[in-house]
Structures are given as structure tokens and as C-alpha cells.
């Protein structure tokens, strides 16, 4: 029985040695099993370059989105103010608080602060985003434009 096991093991070794899993039969040497250090470093450098390009672009997109949020809220507030004025015979006298805008159906974004004010025969609406620090946007009804400016003390 011992000779049969030994013979079957020898036969198995011979079949494994001659099978397709032997890399030498496919023309590959045992040194060609993985990537070289240089190839891995090239990949790491390429990933680093792509990250250096993508991360600042992503951060700029976030800031642009916050700016768009403020200007969108100002545009919606302008619609609410004009609705109030139409209902009050063209008078802007009741728009001195954001509560008046809420009563006209206006709803602002969570991180945006708006300040409406009467300005002669028209009005202004200033808006700031909590994540943009020292930048504010102001809509002036006489010009119909939204302008960007730095926040000054007391505003």
C-alpha cells in the first residue's frame, strides 16, 4: 500500500509539473510576476497630479455654489418685495423686515442672511452667506443689479 501511495504522489507531481500552471511554459520567467517599483511610482505621481488639479477645482465649486445660493435668495426676495408693493399700491414701506417677506411666501436658505431696506423711492436687499465671511451682495431696485462688495464694520 505504501508503494501505491508513493507511486500516485509521484504521478501527481509529474502531472502538476507538466500542466498549464507552470509559468515557464508560457514564456514567462519567475521575475515577471508583479509591477516594478518604478511603475508603481509613476502611478502614484500621476494620481498626485490629478489630485492637485481636482481638489482646488472642487473647493472653488463649493464657493461658487454658496455665492449662487445668496444671489438666488436675493432674486426670490425681490419677487416677494414686488408682490408686497403690488398689494400695497406700489408702496415699499412694509418691507423693512424679513418677516414681511415671509408673509409674501418667501423662504430663505439656512445659511443666508438677508436685510431689506427702503431706499428713497425704491429699496435695497443685502445678502450674506455664513460660509463666505467678508463678502455681501446687494440688490438695488433703482438699478436692478446685484453687486458684490466687502462687508464693512456695522453692515
Sorted by where each begins, the domain ranges of the chain are 37-150
Q: What pLDDT does 65 receive?
A: 92
Residue 27 has pLDDT above 60, yes or no: no
**Which letter does DSSP use for residue 30 in this model?**
T
- Whole-number average pLDDT of the chain: 82
CB 126 within 8 A of CB 117: yes
> What number of CA atoms fall less than 13 Å from residue 84's CA on the CB side?
25
Report, as an integer, the average pLDDT of 63-82.
92
Higher pLDDT pick, 73 / 97: 73
**Percent of the chain beyond pLDDT 90?**
33
Q: What pLDDT does 9 receive?
A: 66
Higher pLDDT pick, 26 / 143: 143
Question: Residue 16 — very low, low, confident or very high, per pLDDT cuts 50/70/90?
Answer: low
Report, as an integer, the average pLDDT of 131-137.
88
The residue among 106, 146, 150, 141 whose CA lies nearest residue 123 is 141
> What number of CA atoms fall less than 13 Å from residue 76's CA on the CB side?
18
Q: What pLDDT does 67 receive?
A: 92
CB 137 within 8 A of CB 113: no
Sheet containing 122-129, strands listed edge to edge, beginning at the edge strand earlier in sequence = 112-119, 122-129, 135-140, 145-150
Amino acid at each position: 500500500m505504501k508503494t501505491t501511495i508513493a507511486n500516485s504522489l509521484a504521478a501527481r507531481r509529474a502531472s502538476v509539473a507538466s500542466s498549464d500552471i507552470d509559468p515557464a511554459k508560457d514564456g514567462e520567467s519567475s521575475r515577471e510576476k508583479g509591477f516594478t517599483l518604478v511603475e508603481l511610482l509613476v502611478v502614484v505621481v500621476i494620481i498626485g497630479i490629478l489630485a492637485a488639479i481636482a481638489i482646488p477645482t472642487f473647493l472653488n465649486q463649493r464657493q461658487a455654489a454658496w455665492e449662487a445660493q445668496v444671489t438666488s435668495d436675493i432674486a426670490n426676495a425681490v419677487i416677494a418685495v414686488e408682490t408686497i408693493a403690488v398689494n400695497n399700491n406700489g408702496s415699499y414701506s412694509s418691507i423693512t423686515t424679513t418677516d414681511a417677506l415671509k408673509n409674501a411666501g418667501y423662504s430663505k436658505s439656512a445659511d443666508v442672511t438677508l436685510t431689506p431696506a427702503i431706499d428713497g423711492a425704491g429699496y435695497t436687499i443685502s445678502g450674506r452667506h455664513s460660509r463666505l465671511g467678508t463678502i455681501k451682495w446687494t440688490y438695488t431696485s433703482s438699478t436692478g443689479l446685484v453687486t458684490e462688495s466687502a462687508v464693512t464694520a456695522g453692515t
